[in-house]
Structure 1
Amino acid sequence: MMTLVRTFRAVTVMLSFTLMLTACGGDDGGSPPPPPSAQVTVSGTVQAPAGQVALFSKPSLWDRAIALLSPEAMAALTGLSSVPDGTAVQLIRIDDAGNVTATLTSTSVSAGKYSFNLTSLGLNPSSNLLVRVINSGANAQMRAFVTGPTVDLDPISETAVRLALERIALTPGTTLNGFTVTELRDITGAVNQLAVVKRLGAGLNIESTVSAIKREVASETGLTGFIVAAAAPGESTEGPGDIGNYFPLTQGNTWQFQGTHSETGQYSNTVKVAGTKSVGSVTTTILTENNPLNSRAAEEVYYLKDSRGIWNYGNSDSSDTLSPSIIPFRELLFPLNVGVTSEVVNKKGVNFGQDLDADGKNETADVLSQVTVEAFENVTVPKGTFTSAAKVVHKTTITAFPSTGSKSVKVIGTQTLWFVVNLGAVKRTLEVQADGQAAESVTEELVNATIVN
């Protein structure tokens, strides 16, 4: 399970120590100049069955070998190949029926990728802005909603476009504007995650591949319900749920880890789902750890899992003076969108909970925590080797400001976790840096687990 509280604890301890050493320091030398305005771009890979945008294409033996041996072997949909360099990619707008209303510009695939500079075109991501490759002679195309800086074109993105357009056709009064850019991104991400979980492969052509993906989507009630909710105006409060059960919170689930701490050496830690606890009006699930970070002090952490992700409602650690100022917060959002960074905590001037410069006032801190789903990949731990593990990186930056006006101190904690379908976390690492210097590192790997069906 998620243990972002570990990062908060480790960072808070390091901050406390560093602040006490620097409480008599000078000012921080002023603020740096603001960065230049960033360019808004969209780019991505372009892949199709046998690398052909065609109604029918039979992959050769060579195509199949390349698909297995290439870096894309861990892609959500196996058996795809890059389309030929020089293939035209269009930037288009469509109407609610999917008809192209404007072709804004085009570019060509190079080294399997395309790119558009939206800033130079005076554009931003929107619900009716798409990228497309088309083979008019074969009456075949692949489209993708432009929802962020990285948008891949493949049968998964085409499936997501069709799912949105089909929902509009089925619901009178529904329009593309009813879908937010974030919702369209999440529909694509959820379809991608489902393809990973089901280990789907490419068919003979785009149409057969899309049809196979849509059949799997139809059986995933959380995802279909999310598409219905997303079609309504505004941002939906629903999500697609935990597709693949990467975060199993059934009562009695137990995980046994072996760990190594940079300062205290080797240790073991057992994590267990152990009951529920009311936090205000919310019933949370209790996750116990008998030796977190080799602290030799058991702890409870309180979680809520819903269709949108994982909520953290605090913990039982009385020495954690920071978490009470920022809970509740989402540790992770569903779906697991590869390459997307989400800001889960961004609070300024929170009560640090400690008076470290002995002036009778608690220090304050700025807390920024971001989570990125980096990839689905293989991972090996003592328990075994697992495919399609979700690699999730939490980066937490806490900047503390002494109440005496002394120099601020910044500590960064980076926690990387690997989650497996129907099993949960199998590996966790934590790296802590204080003012740019390595201060602490921890690694835990799964040795055994008991998962209750």
Structure 2
Amino acid sequence: MLNQKRFWGLFLTIVLVMIGFKSFAQTPPPDYFPLPVGGVWEYQAKTADGKQSKLTIKVEGLETQSDGTNLYKTENNLGFAPFYIWYSKPSGLVKEHQQLYTFGGNNTEYRLEPAKTILKNPPTSGDSWTWEGKEIAVMTTEVKENYRVVGIEDIEVPAGKFSTFKLEIEGTKAGKPFKKVAWYGNFIGPIKWQIFDDQGTLKTTTELGKYTFPPN
């Protein structure tokens, strides 16, 4: 009887350890943006003078380029005409490649040369990097952006309370300074962002209202 009890005790311990290892092995690494194909995020934006608008972002799918790079295509809709942004996710980074605006049957494409690193994935407090390049459309615009991960911050938006990484971006576009602050949540993406003008005055605050992900 004693040996049988020891056997079942040992067997139960092994099973629990195996379950623990399985759960640990299945825990995905942190991922901040862009998140799953088919995911939809709805945002509420408010300007400093009280004007409100809505923004919907959807990850439409993955597109494989001729060089083998996989780009995430996102549709962004402000309620009157969608625009599209393409991102790649090389190891530990998120890069923005191009944008496409459609209005009145006309398309306007913006290409970024080189592709712009917009986020470390995952970010770490103290991370900093600089992107300097060109926005190429009808005209070519020189842009320089400095990024800095300030740290972890708990924030509350209409979608709920989140632990986020706060990212500050300062730079110049065609010689004109600007500033942006963004908050990212693990496995969610952008939670909130603010845009400031060249005088440092807050112009727009955008917050996550709700998000829906496709079933696994």
Task: State the 1:351 CA deviation.
Answer: 7.4
> 2: CA distance between counterparts of 1:441 and 1:338?
26
Paired position in structure 2 for 1:313: 97
Hey, what does 1:426 align to over in structure 2?
Answer: 191
The corresponding residue for 2:153 is: 377
Match among 193, 202, 211 for residue 449 of structure 1: 211
1:314–1:264 CA distance, 2 compared to 1 (3 A): farther
Give secondary structure in 1 for the equivalent of 2:170: strand
Q: How many residues align?
A: 187
For residue 425 of structure 1, what is the amino acid of its counterpart? P
Q: CA shift at 1:334, angstroms?
A: 3.6
1:339 aligned to 126, 150, 153, which one? 126
Distance between the aligned counterparts of 1:448 and 1:246, measured in 2?
16
The residue type paired with residue 149 of structure 2 is V
RMSD: 3.0
In structure 1, the gaps of 5 or more residues are 1-218, 222-241, 355-361, 401-409
Distance verdict in 2 for CA 1:444–1:325, change over 3 Å:
closer
| Secondary structure at 2:154 match in 1 | strand
Alignment correspondent of 2:180: 415
Q: Secondary structure at the match of 2:197?
A: strand
Give the Cα separation in 1 of the matches to 2:81 and 2:56: 12
Query: Any idea what the Cα deviations from partners look like across 1:295-320, whole Å, max 9, x if unmatched?
Result: x3211100111322101110112456
* CA displacement at 1:397 relative to structure 2: 1.1
TM-score with structure 2 setting the length = 0.73
User: Deviation at 1:391?
Assistant: 0.8
From 82, 90, 94, the counterpart of 1:298:
82
Whether the 8 Å contact between 2:38 and 2:59 is mirrored in structure 1 is: yes
Q: Is the alpha carbon distance of 1:264 and 1:386 closer, same or farther for their aligned partners in structure 2, counting shifts above 3 Å?
A: closer
Give the Å deviation of 1:279: 4.3
Give the Cα separation in 2 of the matches to 1:304 and 1:419: 17
Q: 1:390 to 1:319 in 2, by over 3 A?
A: same
**Could you say if the C-alpha distance between residues 351 and 316 of structure 1 is closer, same or farther in structure 2, counting changes exceeding 3 Å?**
closer
The 1-side partners of 2:184 and 2:119 are apart by 12
Q: Which residue of 2 is the match for residue 186 of structure 1?
A: none
Query: Structure 2 matches for 1:342-381, cutoff 5 A?
Result: 342-343=129-130, 345-347=131-133, 350=134, 365-381=141-157
Report how far residue 327 of structure 1 moved. 4.0
Structure 1 285/351 Cα, relative in aligned 2: closer, same or farther at 3 Å?
Answer: closer
The answer to whether residue 33 in structure 2 is matched with residue 247 in structure 1 is yes
| 1:76-115 to 2 correspondences below 5 Å | none
5+ unaligned residues in a row in structure 2: which ranges? 1-23, 102-106
Q: Give the letter for the 2:146 counterpart.
A: Q
* Counterparts of residues 26-37 of structure 1 (less than 5 Å): none
**Per-residue deviation, 1:441:** 1.4
Q: Which amino acid in the other structure matches residue 160 of structure 2? A: G
Q: Give the direction of change, closer, same or farther, for the CA distance of 1:248–1:368 in structure 2 (3 Å limit).
A: closer
1:136-193 per-position Cα deviation (integer Å, ceiling 9, x unaligned): xxxxxxxxxxxxxxxxxxxxxxxxxxxxxxxxxxxxxxxxxxxxxxxxxxxxxxxxxx
Q: What's 2:74 paired with?
A: 287
Structure with more of its chain in helix, by fraction: 1
CA contact under 8 A between 1:391 and 1:417: conserved in structure 2?
Answer: yes
Measured at CA, do residues 243 and 432 of structure 1 come closer, stay the same or move farther in structure 2, by a change above 3 Å?
Answer: farther
Deviation at 1:280, TM superposition (A): 4.3
Aligned equivalents of 2:29 and 2:43: distance in 1? 25
Superposed displacement of residue 413, structure 1? 2.5
Q: Percent identity?
A: 21
CA shift in 2, pair 1:275/1:335, >3 Å: closer
Match of 1:107 in 2: none
TM-score by length of structure 1 reads 0.37
Q: Can you list the C-alpha shifts for 1:362-388, whole angstroms capped at 9, x where unaligned?
A: 6x653211211111110100111113x
Is contact 1:423–1:451 with CA below 8 Å preserved after alignment? no
2:113 aligned with 1:330, yes or no?
A: no
Give runs of aligned pairs for residues 16-415 of structure 1, distance below 5 A.
243-262=29-48, 265-281=51-67, 282-291=69-78, 296-317=80-101, 318-319=107-108, 323-343=110-130, 345-347=131-133, 350=134, 365-387=141-163, 389-398=164-173, 400=174, 410-415=175-180
- Per the alignment, do residues 443 and 220 of structure 1 end up closer, same or farther by CA in structure 2, a change over 3 Å counting? farther
Q: Report which of the two structures shows the higher radius of gyration computed on alpha carbons.
A: 1
* 1:312 and 1:327 in contact (8 A); partners too: no
- TM superposition shift of 1:247: 2.2
Whether the 8 Å CA contact 1:279–1:313 is kept in 2: the answer is no
